[in-house]
Amino acid sequence: MELILLVVSAIFVNNFVLMQFLGICPFLGVSKKLSTAVGMTGAVVFVMTMASVISWLVYHKLLVPNDLVFLKIIAFILIIATMVQFVELVLQKLSPKLYASLGIFLPLITTNCAVLGAATLNIQNEHTLAQATVFGAAGGLGFGLAILLFAGIREVLELADTPKAFKGTAIALVTAGILSMAFMGFTGLVK
């Protein structure tokens, strides 16, 4: 039950992108097409879950016993960067098309603060390993939900008769704001 609540919390109530405003860069960058957004979601879910698990293990089994908690951020960044590199290698081999369409945004997951955010929040909220895993995966899915919704809207927006001054990024930012306000409706659903 607790884990289900955690999932609902991470996906809807405390959505990384729309409620905590983390990971905005890929959210805006890779949301022009639904198909690339799906690929990005897959990559982020994988990286976030793995990063959550490994960073939890490193923190609790390596840093805390050795009294090296201050190394938290640098260690997490190292882990995340490694995971991203790994995903990049795998994608290049298994799906060159997706690799090409994600382009620069794939290595940019390294600096996607949502991933570092998930790892740090796991420690801050004193999650257990199981909770950390679920939180990471759900956080990634939350990111995916936001970016997929946004990509869907942007694809339709492309055809809409937008005033000249609002074309492109301007209307995208306005849309992101409204989407974020919509998600605020979930506030209070889970404590």
Partner 1 sequence: MIVATCVLAGLGLVAGLGLGLAAKFFAVEVDPRQEEIGDILPGANCGGCGYAGCSDFAKGVVEGKAAPDACPVGGAETAADIGRIMGITIEEKERSVALVLCQGDSTAAPTKFHYNGMTSCASAALVGGGDKLCGAGCLGLADCQMVCPFGAIEMTEGGIARVISERCTSCGKCVTACPKNIIQIVPASAPIHILCRNTDKGGVARKACTYACIGCKKCEKFTGDGSMVVTNALASTDYTNPPQDPAVIGECPNACIKELDLSKKAVQH
Mark residue 183 as left, alpha or beta (left: phi above 0; alpha: psi -120 to 50; beta: remaining). alpha
Q: Closer to partner 1 by CB, 10 or 51: give it.
A: 51
From 18, 63, 134, 138, residue interacting with partner 1 (rule: CB under 8 A)? 63
**Is 107:77 a contact under the CB 8 Å cutoff?**
no
Q: Closer to partner 1 by CB, 68 or 184: give it.
A: 68
75 near partner 1, rule: CB under 8 A:
yes
Nearest to 50 by CA among 139, 113, 111: 139
From 74, 156, 159, 165, residue interacting with partner 1 (rule: CB under 8 A)? 74
170 near partner 1, rule: CB under 8 A:
no
66 near partner 1, rule: CB under 8 A:
yes
71 near partner 1, rule: CB under 8 A:
yes
Distances from the Cα of 148 to the Cα of 67, 76, 122, 163, 180, angstroms: 41, 27, 25, 24, 14
159 near partner 1, rule: CB under 8 A:
no
Residues in the site for partner 1, rule: CB under 8 A? Answer: 58, 62-63, 66-68, 70-71, 74-75, 78-79, 81-82, 85-86, 89-90, 92-94, 96
